[in-house]
A and B are shown apart, each in its own frame.
Chain A
């Protein structure tokens, strides 16, 4: 007993340390409002790796600010980038695309690179918040090597605004120690179990697309629905489920790993990371369907360190580096050059590459969900209920 707790807490410590290094120790609310400054100041002071270094030959500056998602990068790659170029990567972690958009709309985000999801890019273009990419500055991006199903949304009206980072799915992760025979296979069962034996143990994302999408799917509606009647049903289910939730947060790994939470809406790589360390945590794609998504590297308008931004994207897209990213975070890539480097056990992993019939039930997020006032207000009502 003592051994076990001891073991987990040590592991937890390392996780926390890693998260801290990546900046994900700062939860979204904090980052959202207190701003990057305070968090970065604390992290910067605590980590020699983030301190300014003498200028390097390339002269791209001493830092590059990255707005990304939790558990989405191998810190060793950031260290390698800093060693090679002299620019330290300062990662800020977000829990939803809405939050990224709000931050960019407010202006002065200070970001150099951000990681938008497929369905948001047209909005960023329409709002003039995203820089068209000069592909000659990203020689490691080879259009022909990328699966267009995932890389395609980066191009809007013939202009490339974003280059493919990863793709993945949104399902849920369950700790089977507690579910046994009742491990859900559908979103309906996900909510049923939450309201019964898993009461107080389930987490949902703090993210309208996936949380409302999951509730919509439980009724068999489209993940992307903006139909008021269907949204009303989803809201009813979410509000009824709320008292049974452990938490509403997109940063669910710590609670799942500590055993406080038993089930959570999850993305591919987070599920893979948890499953790697705790095989009893499995990843399920709701049989009704759910989200298929692809993420991108993009540069916001007015990025303060433009050279460093291009350098970082180019660095992370080098197949050798990207391979290490995948091995670390467990999200598949659309780049065939990287896949050629990955070991077969990754390429055959059903968490990363679900069976075709499960995959075909999934939908890409729709741009309308990002700006639909009803979905936004539904999520806010659910959270403040």
Chain B
């Protein structure tokens, strides 16, 4: 009895927090999504599916997000894995901490300011000028999907590197020695020992990056010039410009549903790949 009381008390702060900050707003959004727009802004309670039927008007934003978020996650993974591998397995003890700090250093500055820097790097007088000078002709980078992709991979890379690094770092190196003893060449050792054992880190990293990317709006707004629209941008627009709370809520509910489905499918897949390990995606 006493133990249950203690557990309840320990969980109370988090429970209250979740109820007030997550469940309540979600309920509000759900209710609003069946309402109607009020002329000056806000919403009028109603029960209509009108907002949901209007969703195709934001089709491009959904498509952009559903292409660029997974692509950004995959690219971040491709870049992060070798980096994390190097940090965990190859770098010298002496330098490892320094290198790790270097990975985190970008977080010391606001992503806003770093994205602003990218505007100039990708702008006409940045990288494209160099490419032109090298004789590859004029090329437009800023305000394209490429620019947005560059920005999101850059911005979220550390979130991918760190979980993978942790899982590689914890890996029992004796397993690799054993596989070498048993005659496995390095590549086979990597594929059959290192890679499977680092999957939890990969799963966590991908999940972190993917979920955040699905809701991203700042980088597309800054590096996409308002031309590469994410659902996040559509939401910002609906709530902060056209003040259409009802439709905005319907878009938000759809986004939550899409996330639920994708993340559940992804976790099921990872569980299968990771065999019986239940720490997959739970780090």
Contact = CB atoms under 8 A, between A and B. Distances in A.
B143 A246 contact: yes
Nearest to B234: A384
B123 A260 contact: yes
Q: On chain A, which size bracket covers the interface?
A: 35 or more
B227 interface: yes
A27 B37 contact: no
A9 B243 contact: no
A182 interface: no
Given A30-B218, A246-B225, A42 B241 contact: no
Contacts, number: 128
Nearest to B54: A377
Nearest to B39: A371
A381 B119 contact: no
A102 B40 contact: no
Contacts of B242: 98, 208, 373, 376-377, 379-380
Interface stretch (A170-178, A251-259, A322-330, A349-357): A251-259
Nearest to B42: A105
Interface string B217-258: 110011001110100011011111111100100000000000
B241 A105 contact: no
B124 interface: yes
Contact of B229 (A5, A39, A383): A383
A384 B240 contact: no
A16 B124 CA distance: 16
B243 A105 contact: yes
Interface residues of B, number: 42
Contacts of A39: 112
B86 interface: no
Nearest to B40: A371
A124 to B, nearest CB: 10
A103 B240 CA distance: 7
A67 to B, nearest CB: 13
B124 A38 contact: no
Given A29-B218, A102-B241, 9 more contacts: A29-B222, A29-B236, A98-B242, A102-B240, A203-B225, A246-B225, A247-B143, A249-B226, A377-B247
Interface of A: 5, 8-9, 12, 16, 25-27, 29-30, 32-34, 38-39, 42, 96, 98-99, 101-103, 105-106, 123, 126-127, 200, 203, 206, 208, 242, 245-249, 254-255, 258-260, 371, 373, 376-377, 379-381, 383-385
The 10 A-B pairs with the shortest beta carbon distances in the complex, nearest first, are A247-B225, A248-B226, A376-B242, A29-B221, A260-B124, A32-B240, A384-B61, A102-B240, A384-B229, A98-B241
